[in-house]
């Protein structure tokens, strides 16, 4: 017996996925050509599964800023802020994020995952209660667990269910934190934030919104769904990542709360890890400037999103939510999803294959994420490839039933 034996069943499932074609969890891009193209197995592929929403990963000015930061500050920070010191660039980025979001203070973390761990485990403790949306990202679940708080899960995007659970908790004097995401990463569906804010106000709880997939994408200034829903005043804490629209790696927490800075010496995921690297900090700083200066990028992104949504809907595909930069195509079962995913890649289109238990309601998804950098021609090509592959799927299914 080995410790790893417990994964036998999962490994078996992984093996059967790989046997059907490529390994969906280990696609190697031999060369990245641009924000929307890469070479995989010697062939040019259109990338539709990158979360590179604003397509800013190859901006010449940003690359120069990152290179200069490495030359100026070195390749790594080699330690944590509390033990080994803060770089002035960390502080500059924190001021910039706070200013961008109109918040009193912001803290940067080394990854988006860690931002959720650090903020959640910093805010809540064993005597507190966290109420989290059932479809929350793994980093939210892990941060909540790390906090030691009592965890109550409410039905996805249901303010009524949250209200019911908070009502049951009336009389419990524990502090309560509600955790939701602006837009959900798998289905691309948006949280009804105004209704959540109403429930929060009624019950005197605090509210945290993770804007990982909505920062730079929603709102007049790109602040996220809190801005577009006009409820920023009701949101006590915002968490976000640099690894999507910001095109770097890292994350942040931001708040107007005067005590928020206390997390710097109480939140273990902030305290006991190396601080973000100079190149990531410089990239995030430069990209925030781009987001402010180029609101047209959001328009391009949304034009592309609506265009792909229409194209796929016209082809008869079932899309899980309204048009958004995340378009999740729902497949009837795992076999057809895996066939489609392999065939799409073979035909030059990379999307994400998402399977249970990593998806809501046991769905098998082909998850597409659009970029402002996609050209209208690329979006048309993506639709053409989906159409071809759908025909191939039907032939494959017909051949299978004939063989039965």
**CA atoms in the 13 A half-sphere facing the CB of 333:** 4
The site for other proteins, by CB under 8 A, has a size of 13
Task: Report residue 136 CA to chain centroid gap.
Answer: 11
| Residue 209 Cα distances to 13, 41, 369, angstroms | 34, 39, 21
**CA angle (135 as vertex; 351, 247 as ends), nearest 5:** 45
Q: Is 254 exposed, middle or buried (0-12, 13-18, 19+ CB in 10 A)?
A: buried
Distance in Å, CB of 151 to other proteins, minimum: 5
With beta carbons less than 8 A apart as the criterion, state whether 345 and 392 touch.
Answer: no
Strand partners, 150: 129
When binding is defined by CB under 8 A, the residue of 22, 90, 137, 165 that contacts other proteins is 165
CB of 117 to other proteins, least distance (A): 16
Minimum gap (Å) between residue 129 Cβ and other proteins? 8
Smaller CB separation from other proteins, 126 or 259: 126
Q: Are the C-beta atoms of 202 and 143 separated by less than 8 Å?
A: no
Indicate whether 14 belongs to the interface with other proteins (CB under 8 A). Answer: no
In whole angstroms, the minimum distance from the beta carbon of 330 to other proteins comes to: 17
> Which pairing describes strands 31-34 and 37-40: parallel, antiparallel, or unpaired?
antiparallel
Selection from 74, 134, 79, 33 nearest residue 279 by Cα: 74
Among 20, 151, 249, 390, binds other proteins (CB under 8 A): 151
Question: What value, to the nearest 5°, has the Cα angle with vertex 185 and ends 183 and 188?
Answer: 55
Residues between 28 and 87 that touch other proteins (CB under 8 A): none
Nearer to other proteins, 333 or 395 (CB): 333
* Of positions 27, 63, 70, 169, contacts other proteins by CB under 8 A: 169
Which region among 101-109, 150-158, 180-188, 384-392 touches other proteins (by CB under 8 A)?
150-158
* Phi and psi, residue 82, nearest 5°: -70, -30
Catalytic residue among 244, 275, 277, 280: 244
For other proteins, the binding residue among 95, 104, 168, 394 (CB under 8 A) is 168
From the list 185, 279, 343, 363, the catalytic residue is 185
CB closer to other proteins out of 108 and 144: 144
Catalytic annotation on 310? no
CA dist 26 → 23, 29, 34, 51 (Å): 5, 9, 20, 17
**Part in contact with other proteins (CB under 8 A); list of ranges 41-49, 161-169, 288-296, 387-395:** 161-169
Q: How far is the CB of 337 from other proteins (least distance, A)?
A: 17
The answer to the question of residue 268 lying near other proteins (CB under 8 A) is no
Instruction: Using the minimum distance from each CB to other proteins, give the nearer residue, 158 or 313.
Output: 158
Contact pick of 33, 39, 83, 134 for other proteins (by CB under 8 A): 134
- Separation of CA 200 from chain center: 24
Q: Is the peptide bond before 357 cis (omega within 30 degrees of 0)?
A: yes
Q: Which helix (H) or strand (E) holds 146?
A: helix 138-147
CA distance 154 to 280: 35
Question: Which span sits near other proteins by CB under 8 A: 42-50, 115-123, 149-157, 189-197?
Answer: 149-157
Answer for the pair 277, 74: CB distance below 8 angstroms, yes or no: no
H or E stretch at 311: helix 296-314
Taking CB under 8 A as the criterion, the residue among 20, 58, 145, 261 binding other proteins is 145
- Sole binder of other proteins in the list 357, 377, 395, 399 (CB under 8 A): 357
Angle between helical axes of 278-293 and 60-73 (0-180°, round to 10): 150
For the question of residue 185 being annotated catalytic, the response is: yes
Scan residues 273-312 and list those touching other proteins (CB under 8 A).
Answer: none
Which residue lies nearer to other proteins by CB, 334 or 384? Answer: 334
DSSP 3-state of 267 = coil
Identity of the residue, 146 or 373, whose beta carbon is nearer to other proteins in the bound complex: 146
Q: Quick check: 155 binds other proteins (CB under 8 A)?
A: yes
Tell me, yes or no, if 137 is annotated catalytic: no
Binder among 14, 150, 264, 292 for other proteins (CB under 8 A): 150
Residue 370 CB coordination number (10 Å): 33
Residue 204 near other proteins by CB under 8 A: no
Closest by CA position to 286, among listed 113, 35, 56: 56
Active site residues: 185, 213, 244
Q: Which residues bind other proteins (CB under 8 A)?
A: 134, 145, 150-153, 155, 165, 168-169, 356-357, 362
């Amino acid at each position: 017996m080995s410790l790893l034996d417990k994964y036998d069943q999962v490994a078996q499932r992984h093996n059967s996925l790989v046997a059907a074609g490529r390994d969906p969890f280990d696609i190697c891009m031999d060369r990245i050509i641009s924000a929307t193209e890469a070479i995989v197995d010697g062939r040019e592929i259109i990338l539709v599964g990158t979360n590179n929403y604003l397509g800013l990963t190859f901006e010449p000015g940003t690359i120069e800023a990152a290179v200069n930061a490495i030359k100026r500050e070195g390749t790594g920070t080699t330690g944590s802020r509390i033990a080994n010191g803060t770089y002035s660039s960390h502080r500059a980025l924190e001021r910039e994020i706070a200013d961008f979001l109109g918040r009193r203070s912001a803290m940067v973390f080394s990854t988006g995952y860690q931002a959720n761990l650090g903020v959640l485990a910093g805010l809540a403790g064993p005597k507190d209660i966290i109420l989290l949306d059932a479809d929350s990202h793994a980093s939210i679940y892990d941060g909540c667990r790390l906090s030691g708080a009592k965890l109550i899960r409410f039905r996805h995007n249901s303010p009524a269910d949250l209200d019911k659970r908070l009502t049951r908790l009336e009389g419990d004097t524990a502090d309560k934190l509600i955790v939701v995401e602006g837009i959900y990463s798998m289905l691309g569906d948006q949280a009804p934030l105004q209704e959540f804010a109403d429930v929060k106000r009624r019950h005197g709880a605090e509210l945290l919104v993770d804007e990982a997939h909505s920062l730079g994408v929603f709102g007049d200034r790109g602040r996220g769904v809190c801005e577009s829903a006009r409820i920023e005043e009701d949101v006590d804490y915002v968490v976000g990542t640099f690894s999507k629209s910001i095109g770097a790696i890292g994350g942040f927490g931001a708040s107007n709360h005067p005590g928020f800075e206390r997390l710097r010496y109480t939140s273990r995921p902030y305290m006991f890890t190396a601080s973000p690297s100079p190149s990531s900090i410089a990239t995030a700083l430069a990209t925030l400037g781009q987001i402010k200066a180029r609101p047209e990028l959001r328009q391009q992104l949304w034009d592309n999103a609506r265009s792909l949504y229409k194209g796929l809907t016209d082809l008869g595909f079932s899309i899980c939510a309204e048009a958004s930069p995340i378009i999740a195509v729902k497949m009837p079962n795992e076999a057809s999803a895996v066939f489609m995913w392999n065939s799409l890649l073979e035909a030059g289109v990379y999307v994400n294959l998402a399977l249970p238990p990593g998806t809501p309601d046991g769905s098998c998804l082909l998850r597409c994420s659009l970029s402002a950098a996609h050209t209208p021609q690329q979006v048309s090509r993506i639709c053409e490839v989906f159409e071809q592959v759908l025909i191939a799927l039907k032939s494959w299914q017909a051949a299978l039933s004939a063989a039965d």
